[in-house]
Structure 1
């Protein structure tokens, strides 16, 4: 491997491909190959090569905007992979307990703040004079939104738990 293929910054050196793959996995907002190239300090041609490989591997997807091709994380495939990981790494009971715990937190927040959603909790900040309480409500609203996403994924893992574990077993 040549010197210019290695990242010489602190930490373990990364190849150009590793830098592009690492950056690509964080693309929540669609970006061009030239944007990724600039962020990872590679040529546009090199970025395009690795980004296209990630599209073929169902890690990224493309979006056409005018004459530009934009790349972003394939959320559907990322969710499928996350559901499969949960099913492989946790028992049905662990997933059920986790789901109950998340739902209990959400229920406690609804009751404590007399609101039905993270948006309502954020709106309630207008009624609070204390900066610490305002920050607490913002933090809880963010965590609540995160838990709502997690609840959906854990439910999907539980819904198809038997089907997935049956197909995931390896016969010897």
Structure 2
């Protein structure tokens, strides 16, 4: 019997591993899959996943195949906004937003030009 090499840092406990696996998925996954990825038992995964659902970090989906979990996109978005607000000044954020608006206008003009219908050629009789 071969022993599996641990892929997690020693300082990461079971809760941190489950949290990391659950929050870095782009599609819903069941507790068994998350448990295997996090190197914990299914029961341990369910305990931490349900805690994350209660905290608003995950959404719990009941399907014909059972229960799956996926990150709550609103909560993730708000956490990212908070991190930006805490790590940048209002002036920095305003300047960055203005740069993005300018870029978006250029892209929008380019897209409109590319998809705008060409004028129909005039037919001569």
Distance in structure 1 (CA, Å) of the matches to 2:87 and 2:40: 36
Which residue of 12, 19, 25 maps to 2:9?
12
Structure 1 segment 6-45 matched on structure 2, within 5 A: 8-9=6-7, 12-13=9-10, 14-45=12-43
Q: TM-score, normalised by structure 2?
A: 0.72
Give 5+ residue unaligned stretches, structure 2: 116-125
Q: TM-score, normalised by structure 1?
A: 0.54
Give 5+ residue unaligned stretches, structure 1: 1-6, 121-172
Structure 1 segment 80-119 matched on structure 2, within 5 A: 80-111=78-109, 114-116=110-112
Count of aligned residue pairs for this structure pair:
108
Structure 1 segment 1-172 matched on structure 2, within 5 A: 8-9=6-7, 12-13=9-10, 14-66=12-64, 68-111=66-109, 114-116=110-112
Structure 1 moving runs of 4+ over 6 Å: none
Distance in structure 2 (CA, Å) of the matches to 1:102 and 1:54: 33
Task: Tell me the alpha carbon deviations over residues 21-74 of structure 1, each in whole angstroms, 9 at most, x when there is no partner.
Answer: 111111221111011112222221111111111112211111111261110001
Structure number with higher helix proportion: 1
Report the Cα offset of residue 80 of structure 1.
1.9
Distance in structure 1 (CA, Å) of the matches to 2:62 and 2:71: 14
Q: SS of the residue aligned with 1:8? A: coil
